[in-house]
């Protein structure tokens, strides 16, 4: 039930305005032989960053929640990413990325062992965002 509510809230945030704490980035995940581009939305609720990564078509790739102990929980992974070894790498990388991301505008993180590069660039505010 909590996952459904989290999914609904994050989808609502992606469609509507983002709160004062919420932020949006374009994201690019580069692998050796492939790449994924999309949108990352992170909002801080009860001092816990929660977010989602969507592809360019609006399909959700992963939801994540940063716990108070610094660990990251992953929810709603697409079947392509829902493998134990992918979840483990993604969780470990997001544990390092998210604390930096909520403090910076743009970020490039490289997992040298797995040859994965994460690039986050802030999205420009739209007219709807600037009016509110």
Assigned CATH topology for domain 2-124: Lipocalin (2.40.128)
Q: What pTM does this model have?
A: 0.78
Q: What angle do CA 24, 97, 72 make, to 5 degrees?
A: 95
d(CA 14, CA 51): 10
* Per-residue pLDDT tens digits of the chain, which is 132 residues long: 444 444 544 444 444 444 445 799 999 999 988 899 999 999 999 889 999 999 999 999 999 999 999 999 999 999 988 999 999 999 999 999 999 998 898 999 999 999 999 999 999 877 666 655
The domain ranges of the chain are 2-124
Return left, alpha or beta for 124; rule: phi > 0 is left, psi -120 to 50 is alpha, else beta.
Answer: beta
CA of residue 126 relative to chain centroid, distance: 20
E strand segments, the chain: 23-30, 35-45, 48-55, 60-66, 72-75, 107-111, 116-122
Residue 75 φ/ψ, nearest 5 degrees: -135, 155
């Amino acid at each position: 039930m909590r996952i459904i509510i989290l999914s609904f809230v994050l989808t609502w945030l992606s469609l509507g305005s983002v709160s004062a704490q919420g932020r949006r980035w374009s994201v690019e995940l580069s692998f050796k032989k492939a790449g994924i581009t999309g949108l990352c939305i992170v909002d801080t609720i009860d001092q816990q960053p929660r977010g989602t990564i969507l592809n360019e078509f609006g399909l959700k790739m992963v939801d994540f929640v940063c716990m108070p102990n610094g660990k990251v929980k992953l929810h709603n992974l697409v079947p392509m990413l829902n493998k134990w070894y992918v979840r483990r790498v993604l969780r470990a990388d997001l544990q390092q990325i998210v604390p930096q991301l909520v403090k910076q505008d743009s970020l490039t993180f490289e997992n040298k062992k797995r040859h994965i590069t994460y690039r986050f660039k802030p999205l420009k505010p739209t007219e709807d965002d600037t009016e509110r």
